[in-house]
Amino acid sequence: MHDAKVFRSMHKERFGAEPAIFVGPGRVNLIGEHTDYAEGFVMPAAINFSTLAGISPRTDGKIAIYSENQGEERVFDDGVQVKRIQHWTDYPMGVTAILAGEGHKIPGFSLSIWSDVPLSSGLSSSAALEVATALAVLSLVGAGYPGPKLARLCQRAENEFVGSNCGIMDQFISLNAQKDHALLLDCRDLSFKLAPIPDHVALVIANTMVKHSVAGGDYPTRRRESEAACAVIASHRAGVPFLRDATLEDLEKWGSEMEPKSYLRAKHVISEDLRTVAACEALLKGNMKELGRLMAEAHRSYSQDFEGSCVEADAMVALAQDLPGLIGARLTGGGFGGCTINLVEQTEATGFAKALGARYAEKTGIAPQIHVCHASGGAHRLE
């Protein structure tokens, strides 16, 4: 965690004013992958890696954005922009533009950003940045929104301004998470159920170091393929606008009319919704064995049917299987690289992390980063 005092004085020195500071956490998804944009179920938790956004007003109408991670400052002389410039500032500027579009009169401001959420690793560095920025800009105009509504606005910034067609999961959990809990989210109506993560369970996040990107080609391709399967079902049965509304029986009935790949993508999405709801039940009942079994099946489905994994992530999951303390392991997030989530008995977590890291390095020749994390609270102002 960055020292907030250092961050504060860095902002003051650069921009000559005291900042208000906001925190947006990254997240790990325990189960429910590529189901959010199909209006299905996901079960993420926020983690103790986060983005800080420090803001102070300006009198010249300009917007200055500085990232300590990028080591770069951009100044927008005419304030809020309406179009992306294919640059990291698109995320904070996108959020600002969406808020302006909601009728907020945005004055000039200076924004400093720092983050320890690993980039392009499937831990929602983008959402953490969007959410921290949204709270910062709203504080400037003296406005606020309920968490679910603000999550939608941040998602719109990513969909409409940045141009990446993600679902609602990441922004939602970053804003609405509760410490020591996972959250089962119904991505249709944004209702949710909190599930406590027992004290004896650690979240061990293993970074394969293979970069993943939601904006890149594979994520939208998978989305299109699964939506094509949904269209086939919808052509036979009314009331299936999203795969959330389809059943495995529908898939068997009309699957022969689908491209083979679309059939498999839909098989993953429809079965993943069932697994996610069941996983929440298992967690609530303290049935760790069942939770682990569902995570294993989810990984198999994500890797083989959805083809959303990669050799390194499959290796990271396989290498975890016989290590002491493992409850369940799977690839988390948008796919094609990034991190695996391992639920591990707390007493074994340190040894597990060490052994998994060594095994992975030996197998792949890549030095991974393994973090023993805990479930954190949602975005907030730092006092």
Write down the least CB distance from residue 57 to ligand GAF, Å: 31
Query: Of 131, 134, 184, 214, which one interacts with ligand GAF (CB under 6 A)?
Result: 214
> In this structure, are residues 45 and 183 in contact, taking their beta carbons and an 8 Å threshold?
yes
Q: Sort 5 into a burial class: Cβ within 10 Å, 0-12 / 13-18 / 19+.
A: exposed
Q: How far is the CB of 41 from ligand GAF (least distance, A)?
A: 11
State in angstroms the smallest separation of the CB of 44 from ligand GAF: 9
Residue of 8, 11, 34, 222 interacting with ligand GAF (CB under 6 A): 34
Measured from the CB atom, the residue of 11 and 222 that comes closer to ligand GAF is 222
| 289 to 328: interface string for ligand GAF, x by CB under 6 A | ----------------------------------------
Q: How far is the CB of 286 from ligand GAF (least distance, A)?
A: 26
Among 292, 334, 337, 357, binds ligand GAF (CB under 6 A): 334
| 169 or 195: CB nearest ligand GAF | 169
CB nearer ligand GAF, residue 110 or residue 176: 176
Q: What is the CA radius of gyration of the chain?
A: 21
Strand ranges across the sheet with 339-345:
326-331, 339-345, 201-207, 369-373
280 and 44 Cβ atoms separated by less than 8 Å: no
> Residues 159 to 188: which contact ligand GAF by CB under 6 A?
166-167, 169-170
Tell me if 333 contacts ligand GAF by CB under 6 A. yes
Q: Of 28 and 240, which has the nearer Cβ to ligand GAF?
A: 28
Cβ 306 to ligand GAF shortest distance, Å: 10
Size of the site for ligand GAF (CB under 6 A): 12
DSSP class of residue 302 equals I
Token duo for residue 10: 């860095």
CA dihedral 316, 224, 38, 160 (to 10 degrees): 100
Name the helix (H) or strand (E) containing 11.
Answer: helix 4-15
Comparison of 11 and 265: residue with beta carbon closer to ligand GAF: 265
Applying CB under 6 A, does 28 fall inside the site for ligand GAF? no
Is 180 catalytic? The answer is no
Strands 375-376 and 44-57 turn out to be antiparallel
Contact 276, 31 (CB under 8 A): yes
Q: Which residue from 8, 21, 33, 278 is in contact with ligand GAF, where contact means CB under 6 A?
A: 33
Give the closest residue to 324 by CA, choosing from 350, 348, 289, 293: 348
Cβ contacts of 208 within 8 Å, gap of 6 or more: 310, 312, 313, 316, 337, 338, 339, 340, 360, 364, 366, 368
Strand (E) or helix (H) holding 222: helix 218-236
The total of other beta-carbon atoms located within 10 Å of residue 132's CB is 33
The residue (of 296 and 355) whose beta carbon lies closer to ligand GAF is 296
Q: Amino acid identity of 84? A: R
C-beta of 137: minimal distance to ligand GAF in Å? 21
191's tokens: 């209702």
Contact by Cβ (8 Å): 229, 243: yes
Q: Does 222 bind ligand GAF (CB under 6 A)?
A: no
Using CB atoms within 10 Å of the CB of residue 280, give its burial: 0 to 12 exposed, 13 to 18 middle, 19+ buried: buried
- Which residue in the list 36, 90, 170, 314 is annotated as catalytic? 170
Counting contacts by CB under 6 A, is residue 197 touching ligand GAF? no
- C-beta of 136 vs 169, nearer to ligand GAF: 169
If phi over 0 gives left and psi between -120 and 50 gives alpha, with beta otherwise, what is residue 61?
left
Tell me whether strands 109-115 and 63-67 are parallel, antiparallel or unpaired: parallel
Q: Could you say whether residue 36 binds ligand GAF (CB under 6 A)?
A: yes
Cβ distance to ligand GAF smaller for residue 96 or 121: 121
Q: For residues 106-125, which are near ligand GAF according to CB under 6 A? A: 124
Minimum distance of ligand GAF from residue 170's CB (angstroms): 5
Catalytic positions, please? 170
Q: What are the residues binding ligand GAF (CB under 6 A)?
A: 33-34, 36-37, 124, 166-167, 169-170, 214, 333-334
